[in-house]
A and B are shown apart, each in its own frame.
Chain A
Amino acid sequence: MTVVDWSRWQFALTAIYHWLFVPLTLGLSVIVGVMETIYVRTGSESWLKATKFWMTLFGINFAIGVATGIILEFEFGTNWSNYSWFVGDIFGAPLAIEGILAFFMESTFVAVMFFGWNRVSKKFHLAATWLTALGASISALWILVANAWMQYPVGMEFDPYQMRNVMDNFWALFSGIAVNKFFHAVFSGWALAGVFVIGVSCWFLIKRRNRDFALRSVKTGAWVGLIGMLLTMYTGDGSAVEVTKHQPMKLAAMEGLYEGSAPQGIVALGMVNPDKHWNDDTDEYVFALEVPYGLSILAKHDPNAFVPGIKDIINGIDINSEGDTINTVSYADRIARGKLAHNSLRAFDTAKATGDTAAMRKARSELRKNYQYFGYGYFNSVDEAIPPVGITFYSFRIMVILGSFFLLLLVVTLISVYKKEWFIHARWLQWIALISIPFVWICSEAGWVVAEVGRQPWTVQDLLPTRAAISAISTSTVITTFWMFAIIFTVLLVAEVSILVRQIGKESKKNLD
């Protein structure tokens, strides 16, 4: 493996570990907020106990997870220094806002949440709990805005003097991709936390401890989880439409689709042919169970719409809603224009060295014409511009299949928990809920794999491939730190799980009803 591969693995490892903690923080803070709101409105001690129990688990997750994301920023400066410079203030500004907000808002209100009982009024404490939840979501907003910009770079102009992109429209950062990505990620956190709360509460029922507390928690978790899951699906649909518009190659990879058609079905279950090359005539799938019209509806909200496959995109062919074939820019042309952009940048550099301002102006103007394909100039073959189809295809299916299962679980749980006696004796459902806990994380992580592997080979879509974003560092350094992080994060994860389990076990023996 090259230094690029190791750096990508390291970034993936760090991001995956970081995302183990984040969605639970996002979702559990809302569930705690709902429980405390009921306590403040009713004055019920039972709701106070439930609030404090889940707040403690929130605190454990928050404490173990805090600062794990900072490692990603370290990696930008060391492994991805070309990228860090190239993206300039566009990436830096949202991350700086995130740092300030995360620090001030969360650290202030988390302290009131945990230390403020009996010291501040009930309503002030409740406000602090909700502001902690809001602060966590606002932190996520800035990270996701920055990530969305990498998927759909807008609101900037490249300055060849500074060799970086300069923001010229801050509000353009809040693109459709950014908005959908933010809500999709946050609501998925609600769904994840809902499943977590239901699973843990079902363990109480299996153990026949604190039944009323468990039922109260299941109800709250199921409501928040179900609302989160429905909104996750709604925003996921919005994301699919945005990906179709701005990252059609990613959509084609998600579907393992090489030659599109109108209408285009979606593969519900299947296996892609690992030996398939975009330009040969072998089958796309080893087997596929297809839902007719599915992809046309998902991608364009039109059951008869044409959805281009990898081969169509490479050849620059699309079909519009009137059924006319239209030519987009083929990948061969993109590579040629990318190389022209590189030549213009070199010409600018030469002119700058000799102080020839007229030549600099001309080179800059030429660069501007082809800049949108700048990244393609690093490729020598169109094959290099295709994402890993297998990983993207399977991750997408893992996310959707598990997501559908959790929707069903949340609906069944919510309906049945109101039939108290039936739910208390439904051991099979309680065991399913308990066993589901790790799978909800797999579902959530799979979504990120789709988003990030599906956009390869780009760090910044169409502008900067990973191979150009990397620093001039040795592979051995990255290998060393990769294993160092693997150990640190595994220790943290073991600490989190063992402290959570110990705390749940200890609290379950108290009277929480």
Chain B
Amino acid sequence: MAVGPSPSTEQIRNHLTGFRGFIQSVWNMYYEGFRNMTIGKTLWIIILIKLFLFFVIVRLIFFPDILQRDFENDEERAEHVRHELTRPR
């Protein structure tokens, strides 16, 4: 198998500089974007309150995954569902 010439130190340094520049510009985009938001700030507050309500209050207190909570393994869960679905109604 033909192997090409290995990259020089200079080339690696250029690649790394380019990559760092890319990460820096992505970071700047988000940082400046969040800083300069006007209506966005209100929206972010709504989003954060909503996510807290949904994932902390609603999910943990009111909406447990019943089969995950009440049974140890899939076999027990299958047995429970089998009982539920075949019991006379």
Query: How far apart are the CA atoms of A75 and B79 in the complex, in Å?
Result: 21
A56 near B39: Cβ-Cβ < 8 Å: yes
A472 near B84: Cβ-Cβ < 8 Å: yes
Residue picked from B50, B59, B89, most chain A C-beta under 10 Å:
B50
Query: How far apart are the CA atoms of A471 and B85 in the complex, in Å?
Result: 11
Known contacts A64-B46, A86-B81, A114-B40; is-contact A477 B54 (Cβ 8 Å): no
Residues of chain B within 8 A (CB-CB) of A473 are 66
Query: How far apart are the CA atoms of A63 and B49 in the complex, in Å?
Result: 12
B78 near A74: Cβ-Cβ < 8 Å: no
B30 near A70: Cβ-Cβ < 8 Å: no
A67 near B54: Cβ-Cβ < 8 Å: yes
A80 to chain B, nearest CB (A): 10
Map CB proximity to B onto A68-101 as digits: 1 under 8 Å, 0 otherwise: 0011001101100110111000000000000000
Shortest Cβ distance from B57 into A: residue: A484
B58 near A499: Cβ-Cβ < 8 Å: no
Interchain CB contact (< 8 A) of A59 among B29, B40, B79: B40
Q: Is A337 an interface residue (CB 8 A)?
A: no
B: number of interface residues (CB 8 Å): 38
Shortest Cβ distance from B63 into A: residue: A74
Complex interface residues of chain B between 40 and 57 (CB less than 8 A to chain A): 40, 42-44, 46-47, 50-51, 53-55
Q: Is A104 an interface residue (CB 8 A)?
A: no
B30 near A115: Cβ-Cβ < 8 Å: yes
B59 near A74: Cβ-Cβ < 8 Å: yes
B50 near A77: Cβ-Cβ < 8 Å: no
Query: How far apart are the CA atoms of A480 and B57 in the complex, in Å?
Result: 13
B65 near A77: Cβ-Cβ < 8 Å: yes
B30 near A499: Cβ-Cβ < 8 Å: no
Map CB proximity to A onto B53-84 as digits: 1 under 8 Å, 0 otherwise: 11100110011111110000010011101101
Q: How many A-B residue pairs have CB under 8 A?
A: 109
Q: Is B17 an interface residue (CB 8 A)?
A: no
- Chain A binding site: helix, strand, loop or mixed by DSSP? helix
A111 near B86: Cβ-Cβ < 8 Å: no
Residues of chain A within 8 A (CB-CB) of B53 are 488
Interchain CB contact (< 8 A) of B46 among A78, A82, A495: A495
Interchain CB contact (< 8 A) of B81 among A56, A66, A82: A82
Interchain CB contact (< 8 A) of A71 among B58, B67, B79: B58
Query: How far apart are the CA atoms of A116 and B25 in the complex, in Å?
Result: 10
Interface size class of A (residues with CB under 8 A): 35 or more
A28 to chain B, nearest CB (A): 15
Query: How far apart are the CA atoms of A335 and B33 in the complex, in Å?
Result: 61
Residues of chain B within 8 A (CB-CB) of A82 are 81, 84-85
Residues of chain B within 8 A (CB-CB) of A495 are 46
Complex interface residues of chain A between 371 and 391 (CB less than 8 A to chain B): 378
Residues of chain A within 8 A (CB-CB) of B63 are 74-75, 77-78, 481
Which one, A161-169, A281-289, A402-410, is touching chain B?
Answer: A161-169
Interchain CB contact (< 8 A) of A163 among B32, B54, B81: B81
Shortest Cβ distance from B51 into A: residue: A67
- Chain B binding site: helix, strand, loop or mixed by DSSP? helix
Q: Is B14 an interface residue (CB 8 A)?
A: no
Residues of chain A within 8 A (CB-CB) of B54 are 67, 70-71, 74
Q: Is A268 an interface residue (CB 8 A)?
A: no
Interchain CB contact (< 8 A) of B29 among A116, A480, A481: A116
Map CB proximity to B onto A473-485 as digits: 1 under 8 Å, 0 otherwise: 1000100110010
A248 to chain B, nearest CB (A): 26
Q: Is A252 an interface residue (CB 8 A)?
A: no
A506 to chain B, nearest CB (A): 9
Residues of chain A within 8 A (CB-CB) of B81 are 81-82, 85-86, 163-164
Interchain CB contact (< 8 A) of A114 among B33, B42, B84: B33
A115 near B82: Cβ-Cβ < 8 Å: no
B28 near A119: Cβ-Cβ < 8 Å: yes
Residues of chain B within 8 A (CB-CB) of A66 are 47, 50
Q: Is A420 an interface residue (CB 8 A)?
A: no
Q: Is A123 an interface residue (CB 8 A)?
A: no
Residue picked from B62, B66, B68, B74, most chain A C-beta under 10 Å:
B66
A342 near B86: Cβ-Cβ < 8 Å: yes
Query: How far apart are the CA atoms of A295 and B12 in the complex, in Å?
Result: 70
B58 near A84: Cβ-Cβ < 8 Å: no
Map CB proximity to B onto A26-66 as digits: 1 under 8 Å, 0 otherwise: 00000000000000000000000000000010011001101
Query: How far apart are the CA atoms of A468 and B67 in the complex, in Å?
Result: 15
Additional A-B contact list (15), CB under 8 Å, known A66-B50, A82-B85, A473-B66: A56-B39, A60-B43, A66-B47, A67-B54, A78-B66, A81-B81, A82-B84, A86-B81, A115-B34, A163-B81, A163-B82, A342-B86, A345-B82, A378-B89, A471-B66
13 CB contacts below 8 A, A to B, read A56-B39, A60-B43, A66-B47, A74-B63, A78-B66, A81-B66, A114-B40, A115-B29, A115-B33, A116-B29, A164-B81, A481-B63, A495-B46
User: What is A's interface to B at a CB cutoff of 8 Å?
Assistant: 56, 59-60, 63-64, 66-67, 70-71, 74-75, 77-78, 81-82, 84-86, 111-112, 114-116, 119-120, 161-164, 342, 345-346, 349, 378, 467-468, 471-473, 477, 480-481, 484, 488, 492, 495, 499, 503
User: What is B's interface to A at a CB cutoff of 8 Å?
Assistant: 25, 28-30, 32-34, 39-40, 42-44, 46-47, 50-51, 53-55, 58-59, 62-68, 74, 77-79, 81-82, 84-86, 89
